[in-house]
Amino acid sequence: MTSLYYVQWFTSWSRRSIVSFGLSPIPVGSIISSATLTLKETGTQGTTRTIAVHRVTQSWTEGGVTWNSRDGTNSWTTAGGDFVSSPTATASVIWTGVLDTDTWDVTSDVQAFVPGAVTNYGWLVKDQTEYATYRFSVCLRRFPFTGRRLHQPKQEIGTSERGLATVCRRPA
């Protein structure tokens, strides 16, 4: 079983979520051919939004992370989280009256995480135009409906080793 941590916080109209998946089940030497992050919407409002995922650059803990703190003791370097400014991926989220699932291609990050070239601290999810009078939120473990696995955050990783192709899905 892989570990999965995430939290969501917001100030005014700025909402950010942070999510991380463990990668230990992926065999050493595997070639990462694809990786996606999928989240279930719990609320969206306004017009079409561009939601970005950014690679997080500092460690954090589920019980301690807030807008200002990454672990309950240590502050983020910048309030709101420390992350790579250029997004790993973006998705256009369109409010249709139905809460959909949204998927981002995070292959490049996972390709760097697996061999250890970059430390896996997960991703920060945010609207590219923050502080607008719109909102976007996603289903996390503490959301009331997360007992239904359908709504949990999911990561799928396609790998190959010695000519065999596999897909790892998290949570397991």
Q: What is the pTM of this model?
A: 0.79
Q: What percent of the chain stands above pLDDT 90? A: 25
> Total structural domains in the chain?
1
How much is the pLDDT for 118? 94
Beta strands in 28-152 (DSSP E): 31-45, 49-55, 89-93, 101-105, 123-127, 135-138
Q: Could you give the angle at the alpha carbon of 53 between the alpha carbons of 51 and 58, nearest 5°? A: 140
Mean pLDDT (whole number) for 105-112: 94
| pLDDT at site 75 | 96
Which amino acid would we find at residue 141?
A: R
Report the DSSP beta bridge partners of residue 4: 21
Is 146's pLDDT higher than 50?
A: no
User: Which residue from 90, 122, 95 is spatially nearest to 20, judged by alpha carbons?
Assistant: 122
Instruction: Please state the rounded mean pLDDT for residues 62-72.
Output: 87
Give 79's contacts (C-beta < 8 A, 6+ positions apart). Answer: 67, 68
Distance CA 68, CA 73 (A): 10
For residue 93, give its domain range: 4-170
Top pLDDT among 3 and 115 is at 115
Structure tokens at 45: 């409002």
